[in-house]
Amino acid sequence: MGEILSMPDFRCASCGKIHSIADESARAHCLKLMDRLKLCGSLDFEHPGSETDQRLSTLPLFGEGRGQMFGILVCAPPIPGGQEIILKAFSGQFNGIWEIPGWAPPLLDPAIFDAAVKLADPAIKALSTEIDARSPGIERRTLIEKRRILSQLHMREIHDMYTIRNFKDETTSLFALFSGRIGIPAGTGDCCAPKLLNYASLHGLKPLSLAEFFWGRENRSATKQHRGFYAPCNDKCAPILGYMLCGADNED
Ligand SMILES: [Zn+2]
Ligand SMILES: [Zn+2]
């Protein structure tokens, strides 16, 4: 069982203050989501039984592919006296799929992302083949440098697809939030917390509680265990969550 870590505070790049969010109530809903994942063995909750989309089976999470993070965001009732809205998300893509009905969508447009990858991948792969065929020397070094620049441009193009929004109707870019840092890690913006907060902001929902857990076979570095609760990651999420939570807490 993974260690239960509490939700940290995040410094905000918009107002300079520290923002945080509770996690107790979201954890309770995470436990319910775990039960559902176990019962269904799939992320396709909408088609139980024989109509289940086979690509959404959770079986690969317990094999070589290893587990994945899942998360819950509890939002305040949109109308007084109404019911809380419970949002759920999986981190990154699930089995190569960005969008699954009932789950928070990614921040980027999957069609635009796929088109960019289709365009850039062959050129990068062709360069790699050429590099492998060359013996060490100046030509090989030039090719390696060319590939490095091409990959960087491609990453920049992808990072440019993310609009980071908060709860004060403000938006910013990954470049602004990561300025002064070594670089933007691949997959930034694809974790559960940013997906959930982005969806809430876009739909005028007020977030109350957020929690994330790991489901499946322990990750390679053995830092995440099946059913363990974990705080949002330090490298990708911590630099953006302060901004994303701005305007969502109750301090004012
Ligand atoms: Zn993260
Ligand atoms: Zn702020």
64-120 tens-digit pLDDT = 999 999 999 999 999 999 999 999 999 999 999 999 999 999 999 999 999 999 999
Ligand number with the minimum distance to the CA of 230: 1
pLDDT tens readout for residues 41-80: 999 998 877 788 889 999 999 999 999 999 999 999 999 9
Ligand number with the minimum distance to the CA of 18: 2
**Within 10 Å of residue 52's Cβ, how many Cβ atoms?**
17
pLDDT of residue 50: 76
Ligand number with the minimum distance to the CA of 251: 2
Ligand 2 centre distance from Cα of residue 17 (Å) = 5
Q: Say if residue 2's pLDDT is above 90.
A: no
Q: Say if residue 162's pLDDT is above 90.
A: yes
Distance from C-alpha of 54 to C-alpha of 60, rounded to nearest angstrom: 11
Ligand 2 centre distance from Cα of residue 205 (Å) = 17
